[in-house]
Structure 1
């Protein structure tokens, strides 16, 4: 019996590690996502798993309708909702973005042949 316990403790330890490292966090994330999907309501700004931003205009049991632009609406499954857009995200997006200026390239030195041709032209 004692020998059997000595052989089994590594498997028990692996089971506990599996539960703590994989199963429990996955269940917690799944519960959080389920709560987020259940809390969707009209007017909520969302992002889909495909990256489309929109505002919910209608909520059904397993589907939502989102408005992505004026006159453009999509019907998607609730499972396609990637997350709710927070006000911090919208503030970050609404800040005025400064246009990126292309870097100025340093003036290239003329090739030797061109420099000699220019030099010959000046001497005449």
Structure 2
């Protein structure tokens, strides 16, 4: 049994010399993969969502992240909007929680 351990230790002693640039190349490669797979798509989604937030106007039919569908009744400068769910109920939410602006007539179709 001891001879297996000594062979493992002996084989571990043989170290190979690698170039110092290989580590830098690998770090740059992982950085590029991280940028193109994670950061860039997230930045695009954030840009599209910001454009959606700025295009909300009174009378639009919207869908919220909570699943509420309603018509925008009031828009404030502080970033809140009032949504009429039906003739009786009105909800005030932050503008950031709007997921999509729906086509006109969607509420009636539901």
Which runs of structure 2 are paired with 1:24-39 in the superposition (5 Å)? Answer: 24-39=40-55
Runs of 5+ consecutive residues of structure 2 not aligned to the other structure: 1-17
Equivalent-residue separation in structure 1 for 2:38 and 2:103 (angstroms): 28
Cα deviation for residue 94 of structure 1 reads 2.6
Q: In structure 2, which of residues 22, 34, 43 is the aligned counterpart of residue 18 of structure 1?
A: 34
Cα deviation for residue 15 of structure 1 reads 0.2
Give the alignment's Cα RMSD to 1 decimal. Answer: 2.2
Contact 2:61 2:106 in 1 (8 A): no
3-state SS of 1:43 partner:
coil
Equivalent-residue separation in structure 2 for 1:42 and 1:10 (angstroms): 52
Q: In structure 2, which of residues 60, 63, 88 is the aligned counterpart of residue 47 of structure 1?
A: 63
Higher relative contact order (CA 8 A, sep 6+): 2
Q: Number of residue pairs matched?
A: 92
Q: TM-score, normalised by structure 1?
A: 0.67
Q: Which has the larger radius of gyration?
A: 1
- Could you say which residue in structure 2 is the equivalent of 1:73? 90
Equivalent-residue separation in structure 2 for 1:68 and 1:55 (angstroms): 7
Equivalent-residue separation in structure 2 for 1:32 and 1:86 (angstroms): 18
Runs of 4+ in 1 over 6 A off after TM superposition: none
- Could you say which residue in structure 1 is the equivalent of 2:99? 82
